[in-house]
Amino acid sequence: MKLAAGKLPPELLSELLGTIPPADSSVVVGSGLGEDAAVIDNGGPELLVVKSDPITFAAADIGRYLLAVNGNDLATMGAEPRWLLVTALLPEGIEPDQVREIFAGVTRACAECGVALVGGHTEVTVGLDRPIVSGCLLGTVPRAGVVRTAGAQIGDAILLTAGIAIEGTAILASEHASMLRERGIGEEVIAAARGWTMEPGISVLPACRALRDAVQVHSMHDPTEGGVITALHEVAEAAGVGLRIVRDEIAVLPATRTICEAVKLDPLGLLASGALLATLAESEVFGAIRVLEYAGVPCRRIGEVVPASEGRKLIRERTANPLPVFARDELARFLEAL
């Protein structure tokens, strides 16, 4: 069976991760399902956190996407991003001004985030129809400040910030606007969604900072490919727990709902950078929501962590069904059908 575009199937990924030899003693957090960055003890006063991730779906505003998707995975571990290396693979025939634009976008995004661009590699590569830019981002975290996806505890409340599918909606609006117009989507909706990389934005760094400075967070995870549902499965898998999620508490922004209905996509399985999942003790919920709202980040309690024996459930109108599974991101499925 040939693999479709998007993330590897979880069972194949688990198989591959299981073949990795044991890490040396300096590796605090290594490869694992749901753990999106590595933590290394290099003997200094803080631990080193390292992440690599490419930008493949988006062509516009690559620099902002690159910093966000890599920075999000550092931020959810409690780290501050500090140094970036970039590998840029460019299609044959690209214009020098397009290369300059990509470079300027990366340097601008680094300046906005306080990250130093320290190196990388650039080349024109055969067989590409668009630029592919991959980042390796390094940051630091206090020794007692590491937060893991696997840290979710039975009895925890589950919080979700912002609205879901911000990233997927922004890509559809910026890269497939003509198709959306053909499906009856108005210009105001397209224009608004196109700007979502800026506002509400696809970075969860402000939300992570607010939470880690105010409350005791047990786990944080950012939904990416496969949307918020896939991220919830990753939290459950990493922590070995069950989940009870209330569907009506998952906020879907109006433009996302309109666009997804027009192109027949489920927002629960659509690229969701910009949202943050966090688990913490029930007693911390009020303080967490208050500090997030003070930081300008909307937040809702969407469910709780339960024993693994109770399974992963999605509650809607008092009916509990198994949490759905998205074999791949809804955007990947959509692009394949074009």
Q: What is the pLDDT of residues 190-204, one digit of tens each?
A: 999 988 888 888 999
Q: How confident is the model at residue 158 (pLDDT cuts 50, 70, 90)?
A: very high
**What are the residue ranges spanned by the domains of the chain?**
23-142, 149-337
Around Cβ 186, how many Cβ atoms within 10 Å? 12
**What is the average per-residue pLDDT within 45-56?**
92
Give the integer Cα–Cα distance in Å for 62 and 75: 19
- Interval 203-256: pLDDT, tens: 999 999 999 989 999 999 999 999 999 999 999 999 999 999 999 999 999 999
CA angle 310, 159, 143 (to 5 degrees): 100
pLDDT band for position 30 (50/70/90)? confident
**Is this model's pTM higher than 0.95 or not?**
no
Taking residues 154-183, report their average pLDDT.
93
Supply the CATH classification number for the domain 149-337.
3.90.650.10
Please tell me the distance from the alpha carbon of residue 35 to that of residue 15, in angstroms, as a whole number. 15
Phi-psi region at 2: left, alpha or beta (left = phi > 0; alpha = psi -120 to 50): beta
CA 329, 37, 8, 62 torsion-angle sign: positive
- Third-level CATH fold of 23-142: 60s Ribosomal Protein L30; Chain: A; (3.30.1330)
20-48 mean pLDDT: 88
Residue 285 neighbours by CB under 8 Å, 6+ apart: 157, 159, 301
pLDDT at residue 56, rounded to an integer:
78
Q: Which helix (H) or strand (E) holds 306?
A: strand 299-306
* Mean of pLDDT values over 82-101: 95
Max mean pLDDT among 165-169, 211-215, 283-287 falls in 283-287
